[in-house]
Structure 1
């Protein structure tokens, strides 16, 4: 192993830990046994990894012969749960290189909530006074510029099949305006809560791999598909992709409708369709299999009230097997 680069090893669960980064180069869930053929090196890596997993704390050790130093930095999402380990191993006389920014996160697919680690908020350049660790999954897409694999990622969220993995290089827009290429790695897991309830999580890591303008795999600030959609939007229209099964927002395509509660931030009302309008929404969802649908729905507003909107929905394919609704909302009395 080269002593000049850090290893990024995922420990989400659902299988043996694998390598997802070597320095700033992404890796595709590579087993440790494929990465390290030398038995002694593999033993050192596994030993440091096991100790870090057991302690959930950094490790800094020197080999018995005094020649090799091994250092780990755990990436925690909670004090009791680790998503990855940054690991460096090299000659004791070699200077340890700087580490890339890396952050942990998870989507609770049972509640449509996303939770972020402090390291991920550091990667995003979020100021201390703006640090909301939990928000709606849909909020993730306000910061990232996705690649052509976005529909595949959304399809995996909709299907929520345990064992499903996804990796992508997307562009992150930091709060200071900087555009960074970020490698996302994640896996869907079915877990049991302390109350004994089954929940489904998309657990992941985001790895800053460099300036987005210098990483060819990073998508440009606006891809053609989004330009076409923006050009087709009428004034006063707001478009969203909605999960047909749960009726939950997956993401806005373009700006969010003002005053609507959708981010699930602390102190804000939870996103909700008025209980009396749920039957209309479910009928619209069901009838999409045959044709476009429309109806008037009341949505929860930021002040705790309700706002009536006219919703027009069309079926959209996320992949060969998965569909969602592309919903256009506007004021009911707006003129077309």
Structure 2
């Protein structure tokens, strides 16, 4: 039986040495290649091949130093063309490698609030090529029920709110493909600092998602019933004509919808008009944020940008929520005051 493919992350950042995040369909906790391959004669060959694939961005194959094995590598590229990972296989010269588990690279630019998906990831999602969109607003990560998260979702959101270079996260969630099939998906990611070339640095979360089997056959995969963030969210059940969301208090930007998005509101990256709070309401928004930090609850009326470029008056009720021990966000409920539109 042929040896399994190793999935190696090449995110960079504080951890310069690539690490193994999966052996076949079995996730690994970012362990060294040495921990998987041992101190045998193939370790240096595998390390050299990974370096070559990172440098060239192309698949590669080479005989080992002993001549009895060969090492094969395939890159996992981001939408922008960077190499976020390498599939590595070591086997006999006359041996055929097994099929590789589907996987796709992605990254989230926290500075610009934009997430990017590679073509490989869209294939994993079962998305038809005519519907491919590689860049999204960060809030679209959790939209439309594609991702069924585990109990660590609040930890993942906390990472997006207060990530620093070197922060890492791994988890197994369930992906509901566009054809309705539920697949267990293991992901690993790391936050790194990326120079922009203009003397500035952006915070970017680099990640890989791998399909590890049918969701029903992987015990770690979340069930079809969603796992909500916290008891405070359970208490705030969805009601008609109310739309719930989680908002980053520092930036006042949307992290995710808990229900269907508010109809007509501009919130997607590809909307004709970018999301915004009316400039005359910014002072009100800051006051509400201050009240929320002080008392844990607040309410006010704001005008939000609409998809057609106008403004929508919305009653905003917010409660402070804990994402983790050190990170808070706003659990926001939106309501329309009789459907009136602002001038």
TM-score w.r.t. structure 2 length? 0.92
**Structure 1 residue 149 and structure 2 residue 148: aligned?**
no
Deviations 1:124-161 (A, max 9, x none): 11111111100011111122011000001111111121
Matches within 5 A, 1:292-331: 292-331=297-336
Structure 2 Cα separation of the partners of residues 88 and 22 of structure 1: 10
Aligned pair count reads: 332
8 A contact 1:166–1:187 mirrored in 2 = yes
Deviations 1:169-206 (A, max 9, x none): 00111111111110010001111102222110011000
Other-structure match for 2:76: 75
Other-structure match for 1:62: 63
Matches within 5 A, 1:179-218: 179-218=182-221
Distance 1:79 1:258, change over 3 A: closer
Q: Which deviates further from its counterpart, 60-69 or 323-332?
A: 60-69
TM-score w.r.t. structure 1 length? 0.94
**Structure 1 residue 283 and structure 2 residue 287: aligned?**
yes
RMSD: 1.8
Q: In the TM superposition, what is the alpha-carbon distance from 1:272 to its structure 2 partner? A: 1.2
Matches within 5 A, 1:160-175: 160-175=163-178
Q: In the TM superposition, what is the alpha-carbon distance from 1:4 to its structure 2 partner? A: 2.4
Q: In the TM superposition, what is the alpha-carbon distance from 1:305 to its structure 2 partner? A: 1.4
Q: In the TM superposition, what is the alpha-carbon distance from 1:59 to its structure 2 partner? A: 0.3
Matches within 5 A, 1:32-71: 32-63=33-64, 65-71=66-72
Distance 1:231 1:311, change over 3 A: closer
Deviations 1:273-299 (A, max 9, x none): 111111111111121122211111111
Structure 1 Cα separation of the partners of residues 105 and 6 of structure 2: 16
Other-structure match for 2:26: 25
The ranges of structure 1 where at least 4 consecutive aligned residues each deviate by more than 6 angstroms after the TM superposition are: none
Deviations 1:19-71 (A, max 9, x none): 00100100101012222222412111111111111211100222355421211
8 A contact 2:149–2:227 mirrored in 1 = no
Partner SS state of residue 262, structure 2: coil
Partner SS state of residue 317, structure 2: strand
Structure 1 Cα separation of the partners of residues 273 and 130 of structure 2: 20
Partner SS state of residue 121, structure 1: helix
Q: In the TM superposition, what is the alpha-carbon distance from 1:333 to its structure 2 partner? A: 2.9
8 A contact 2:7–2:20 mirrored in 1 = yes
Deviations 1:300-325 (A, max 9, x none): 11112111110000000001111000
Structure 2 Cα separation of the partners of residues 204 and 221 of structure 1: 24
- Long gaps (5+) in structure 2: none
- Alignment partner of 2:252 out of 247, 252, 258: 247
Structure 2 Cα separation of the partners of residues 48 and 220 of structure 1: 39
Other-structure match for 2:85: 84
Structure 1 Cα separation of the partners of residues 227 and 35 of structure 2: 38
Partner SS state of residue 207, structure 2: strand
Structure 1 Cα separation of the partners of residues 205 and 100 of structure 2: 25
8 A contact 2:150–2:173 mirrored in 1 = yes
Partner SS state of residue 337, structure 2: coil
Structure 1 Cα separation of the partners of residues 79 and 139 of structure 2: 22
